[in-house]
Structure formats: structure tokens, C-alpha cells
């Protein structure tokens, strides 16, 4: 698109901001036309830079630090931030427009004296993307504007996690400068092992996330263990700001239990009529098993191999965990 506009109208109709708003493949194509070499190995920022130079576009204006910071951020991320802040039509805005709106919004929040906590959203159920008459169509909203992180167990090896952020949290993050990697903050998913005690007493594992991911498949650090995840930001010095905490999950054992206790019971005829009594406390938390074997049992492997199914797991960023 940029390519055609440039050819049609020349550089008068073109700014670096417009370049920055284009997709990378389009920029690469453009690079070919204007004779920038090595474009396929360049990052987007470099591409815009080199293209701008090659096309003789004027250098960017002097800007204040907040705007510079926003300009360092990817368009996708800006768009998401804008959506989170309830900016209408963000999906159709280019980077320059996004930066302008976000910086204004962010100042607004700052001057309103946001209390600085990872507050929960007031407009919890306010987000609806389309104005189509109710019941006619459903556009999956990009966000529900609620701070949340959810864990699911896929199998004994992998967990699936997704998250969402409220507009307030976004505004606060931007205001604190935490969304800019240059400030040393990292977006992190922190997985706590809560098998043996409450959150914080056991080990945890950090997974560094990129800006655009909204979900992640993560390797389970162990089997027959319980986990809770926190979504948040970690500073270079290790300071931890949690924004949302997940539900508790239990990763199943994938080996035979080493507990050989044998205890019998019956399902008594009366039990067929008994309603659920109180005090029978089995929940996710009290489900604690014994230690699992180190090596996979052969029979078990065969069992799993023989399970029927025909799907294969198509790749997605699945990151091996570092010990926290």
C-alpha cells in the first residue's frame, strides 16, 4: 500500500510514521524497490530507518520521552493498549495516531492521580467490540477488560495459560514505564509450585513473555504437583509486580504411584440413595499424591501410545522452563 502510494504520489505524501505503520513484508518489498540491501535480516525499526533515508524522508520530529517510549513499542502492542483503554477504532489507526492517543490518555490517568495499585477494572463487563444489533453476530472481543490469568492442564507435560488485562492496569503500566523494555521491566508469567504449602513458600518458575503473546503453552516443571500462576512485571533488580493470579491446577502423575497401601471399601447399597453429606473435603487442594518414579514405566508408555486419537500438536511457543 505504502509502496503504491509512494510510486503514485512521491515522497511528499510520505512520512516515516506511515512507514512504521506498515507491515514488515510490505516494507521488505518496498526495500527491494528503493534499493535497500539486506532488508530480510533487518528488524522493523531498522527497516523504517533505512527506508526513510533511502527515500529521503525528513527525520522524525523531536518528541517527549513518553512518546519516544511508545514509539519504541510494536504496533500490535500499542493497539492492544489502546483497546484496553477503550479507544474506539484503534484497530484502524496507524502507529502515529496510536502514539498520540496513548500518550494523551496516559497523561490523563497520571494527572487524575491513579493510586498506582494493580487495580481491578471498574468497567468489568463494559467491553463489546461491535455495535451490531444484539443477537445477530458475535465478534470475539480482543479483551474483556479484566485482569485475569487462567491455567489449564493439557497433559502431564504441558500447561496452557492465557491472560487479559484491564484498561486501568494498562494505563498504570504505561505510566510507570513498565511496558518499555528499555526500563528493565520484563513481562513475566510466574508459576508457583503450591503442592507443599501456600503460594510463595515453594519454588517458582519465571517465563519471560513477549509483548504480543496472549497465551502460552508451558512445560510443566514437575508431575503430580499443583501450580498457581501470576502474570506480572519483573524489574532488572528482581522487583515483582503481580497483576493477576490464576486458578490452581494439578498436573497429573505420568508414572506409577509408589504408594502401595491397600485399602478397601464398598459402594454400599445405601450409598445409592445417600445424598452428599457435609465435611467430605476433597477438593483440588487436598488432592496430594505420593512421590512419582523417576523413569517412565514401560507399560504406561504403551498404554498412552495405544490411546486412540489422531491429532498432532502443531507447534506454538513452548518454552522449557528455567528454574526460578
Binding site for other proteins (CB under 8 A): 125, 128, 134-138, 140-141, 144, 150-156, 160, 162, 164, 215, 247, 249-250, 252-269, 271-272, 274-276, 280-284, 287, 289-290, 299-300, 303-304, 306-311, 313-316
The answer to whether residues 300 and 254 touch, using CB atoms and an 8 Å cutoff, is yes
Cβ at position 77, least distance to other proteins in Å: 18
- Comparing CB distances to other proteins, the nearer of 236 and 314 is 314
- Comparing CB distances to other proteins, the nearer of 92 and 299 is 299
- Comparing CB distances to other proteins, the nearer of 59 and 308 is 308
CA gap 242, 220 in Å, rounded: 21
Q: How many CB atoms lie within 10 A of CB 133?
A: 7
- Comparing CB distances to other proteins, the nearer of 111 and 310 is 310
- Comparing CB distances to other proteins, the nearer of 183 and 290 is 290
Provide the 3-class DSSP secondary structure of residue 305: helix
Mode of pairing for the β-strands spanning 158-164 and 148-153: antiparallel
Cβ at position 145, least distance to other proteins in Å: 11
Cβ at position 284, least distance to other proteins in Å: 5
In the block, residue with C-alpha cell 478397601: 264
Find all residues with CB under 8 Å of 272, minimum gap 6, and list them: none
CA gap 32, 111 in Å, rounded: 46
Cβ at position 166, least distance to other proteins in Å: 13
**Rounded to the nearest 10 degrees, how much is the dihedral formed by the CA atoms of 216, 217, 223, 227?**
20
- H or E segment at 178? none
Cβ at position 32, least distance to other proteins in Å: 32
Find all residues with CB under 8 Å of 127, minimum gap 6, and list them: 86, 141, 143, 144, 145
The answer to whether residues 70 and 63 touch, using CB atoms and an 8 Å cutoff, is no
CA gap 67, 105 in Å, rounded: 12
Cβ at position 154, least distance to other proteins in Å: 5
- Comparing CB distances to other proteins, the nearer of 124 and 183 is 124
Cβ at position 301, least distance to other proteins in Å: 10
- The three grid cell numbers given for residue 293, joined into one nine-digit string: 518414579
* Residues 239-266: b if buried by 16+ CB within 10 A, e if exposed: eebbbbbbebbbbebbbeeeeeeeeeee
CA gap 7, 143 in Å, rounded: 38
Cβ at position 80, least distance to other proteins in Å: 14
- The three grid cell numbers given for residue 232, joined into one nine-digit string: 506480572
Cβ at position 257, least distance to other proteins in Å: 4
Amino acid at each position: 500500500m505504502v509502496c503504491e502510494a509512494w510510486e503514485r504520489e512521491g515522497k511528499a505524501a510520505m512520512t516515516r510514521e506511515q512507514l512504521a505503520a506498515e507491515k514488515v513484508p510490505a516494507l521488505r518489498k518496498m526495500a527491494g524497490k528503493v534499493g535497500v540491501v539486506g532488508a530480510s535480516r533487518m528488524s522493523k525499526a531498522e527497516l523504517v530507518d533505512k527506508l526513510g533515508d533511502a527515500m529521503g524522508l525528513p527525520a522524525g520530529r523531536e518528541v517527549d520521552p513518553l512518546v519516544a517510549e511508545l514509539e519504541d513499542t510494536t504496533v500490535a502492542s500499542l493497539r492492544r493498549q489502546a483497546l484496553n483503554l477503550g479507544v474506539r477504532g484503534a484497530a484502524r489507526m496507524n502507529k502515529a495516531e496510536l502514539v498520540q492517543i496513548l500518550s494523551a490518555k496516559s497523561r490523563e490517568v497520571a494527572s487524575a492521580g491513579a493510586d498506582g495499585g494493580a487495580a481491578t477494572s471498574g468497567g468489568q463487563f463494559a467491553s463489546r467490540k461491535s455495535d451490531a444489533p444484539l443477537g445477530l453476530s458475535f465478534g470475539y472481543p480482543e479483551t474483556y477488560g479484566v485482569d485475569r490469568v487462567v491455567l489449564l492442564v493439557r497433559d502431564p507435560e504441558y500447561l496452557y495459560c492465557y491472560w487479559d488485562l484491564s484498561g486501568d492496569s494498562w494505563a498504570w503500566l504505561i505510566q510507570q514505564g513498565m511496558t518499555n523494555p528499555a526500563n528493565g521491566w520484563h513481562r513475566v508469567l510466574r508459576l508457583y509450585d503450591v503442592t507443599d504449602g501456600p503460594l510463595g513458600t515453594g519454588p517458582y518458575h519465571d517465563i519471560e513473555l513477549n509483548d504480543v503473546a496472549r497465551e502460552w503453552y508451558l512445560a510443566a516443571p514437575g508431575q503430580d504437583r499443583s501450580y498457581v500462576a501470576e502474570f506480572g512485571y519483573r524489574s532488572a533488580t528482581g522487583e515483582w509486580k503481580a497483576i493477576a493470579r490464576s486458578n490452581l491446577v494439578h498436573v497429573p502423575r505420568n508414572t506409577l504411584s509408589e504408594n502401595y497401601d491397600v485399602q478397601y471399601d464398598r459402594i454400599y447399597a445405601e450409598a445409592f440413595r445417600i445424598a452428599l453429606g457435609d465435611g467430605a473435603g476433597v477438593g483440588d487442594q487436598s488432592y496430594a499424591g505420593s512421590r512419582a518414579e523417576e523413569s517412565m514405566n514401560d507399560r504406561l508408555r504403551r498404554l498412552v501410545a495405544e490411546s486412540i486419537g489422531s491429532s498432532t500438536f502443531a507447534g506454538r511457543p513452548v518454552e522449557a522452563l528455567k528454574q526460578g
